[in-house]
Amino acid sequence: MTDDPGHVCADQESISLLSQNIPSEDELCRICNIFGALQSETRLKILFLLSGGGLCVKELEGALDISQPAISHSLRTLRQLDLVRVKKEGRFAVYHIADEHVHTFIDVCRKHVSECEW
């Protein structure tokens, strides 16, 4: 038998300091919206495809074998959450990952699930 006391509960001051790391209500709501949107396999597939570079709807349609309206609907959701941005390039609207944070987020998620033993 060891003298290991196990977990010792933190004092109230420490708990108060930890509580300061919780995002504001507005930030929590926006984070929940992002996680909610990412519960769609189609939207996740789009993000993984776009992580390789910009694509137009026709290219996404060919890669996913999903209808144009379904892809457009998913892209609209991703754009509203600023996960994806669109640029007019000639005759085409080309979609891109919004920024490096989104790249990092999906990359970290993929690494996490590949390392998990489920």
Domains along the sequence of the chain with CATH: 12-115 (1.10.10.10)
What's the pTM? 0.85
Q: pLDDT tens for residues 58-74?
A: 999 999 999 999 999 99
Per-residue confidence band for 29, with pLDDT thresholds at 50, 70 and 90? very high
DSSP string of 4-24, one letter each residue: -----PPPHHHHHHHHTTSPP
HSE-CB of 29 using CA atoms within 13 angstroms: 3
Q: How much is the pLDDT for 96?
A: 98
